Amino acid sequence: MRILAAVRNSFRNEFATTNHHVVNVGCCVRGPGRRARPGRVDRVSGVCYGAGVSSQTQLVQLAREDARLYQLKQQIANLPRRIAELGKERSALELQGREAEGRLQNADSTRRKLEGELADARAKKNKSEGRLSSITSTDQYQAVQKEVGTMSERIDTLESQVLEALERVDEVQRQRDAEAARVAQAVEGIEAQKRQLAADLEAAKASLEEQNARREGALVGVDGHTRTVYERILKAKGDAALSIVSLANCGICKAVQPPQVVQQLRQGTGLQTCQMCGRILVWDAPA
């Protein structure tokens, strides 16, 4: 992305003032083992009007089309991964929703269990109380009365616990509802993003053929030697073969170029490549 931004910045500057800024690469090429073939350079504008001037402009145009092509290919390569990541985000959110639901079910099950125990304790107490009227022995009567007392205490405790459990259920239900709303909203956002990315992916795929054709079109007019060098660098770099020099820095890797390279770029004598990244350099004269 950093490289793309650099390429885009370079081209934004470049195409604002194309004719004045583009120095000769194509017609005054001096590749390895080649002698310079100077064209007629307009001393004022710095633009070469010799044979192959279209090659120079076309080279920059080609790099621009390649930057777009690179961007499309990056999108096609990366968007499915982003879409899959969003799918995982959605699953994680849905899991959080299910966990909140699980906490509610637990709280409710605790409430039901306590209510069952309370009902049992009440039934036992009633049963014991029922026995009291038919008991004749004092010892037995006292024992059963003690039982009733114990049950009453147990019932008090359980009633408090049931109340607490009811409050807990209310609280957890509110949390579950809030969580469900949050998850639903987040999932909606994720789905909107996924739809957008899927549309971007389809658009990128659909433009690929046209962009390849545009690239082929831009190749016309770039002379054979420059094209060979350009294609070789592009293949090695993957992203961009051409970089605009601004002041004395390579527009992509930012390496400062030696004065003689800058001088030759200014004069448009020969094909210059970046000392650091090896990309073909194009001079962007200060406005």
Task: Name the site residues for Zn ion (rule: CB under 5 A).
Answer: 250, 253, 255, 274, 276-277
- 218 or 277, CB closer to Zn ion? 277
Q: How far is the CB of 253 from Zn ion (least distance, A)?
A: 3
Q: How far is the CB of 178 from Zn ion (least distance, A)?
A: 54
Helix H or strand E encompassing 242: strand 242-246
Coil, strand, or helix at residue 167?
Answer: helix
Rounded Cα distance, 48 and 42, in Å: 6
- 219 or 256, CB closer to Zn ion? 256
Q: How far is the CB of 221 from Zn ion (least distance, A)?
A: 25
Helix H or strand E encompassing 280: strand 280-284
Rounded Cα distance, 214 and 187, in Å: 39
Q: How far is the CB of 276 from Zn ion (least distance, A)?
A: 5
* Residue 14: other Cβ atoms inside 10 A: 22
Rounded Cα distance, 158 and 160, in Å: 5
Q: How far is the CB of 238 from Zn ion (least distance, A)?
A: 14
- 27 or 67, CB closer to Zn ion? 67
- 162 or 282, CB closer to Zn ion? 282
Rounded Cα distance, 274 and 251, in Å: 10
Indicate the burial class of 259 (C-beta count within 10 angstroms; 0-12, 13-18, 19 or more).
Answer: exposed
- 148 or 276, CB closer to Zn ion? 276
- 135 or 255, CB closer to Zn ion? 255
Rounded Cα distance, 8 and 73, in Å: 16
Q: How far is the CB of 245 from Zn ion (least distance, A)?
A: 9
Q: How far is the CB of 255 from Zn ion (least distance, A)?
A: 5
- 135 or 253, CB closer to Zn ion? 253
Pairing of strands 242-246, 249-250: antiparallel
* Residue 119: other Cβ atoms inside 10 A: 12
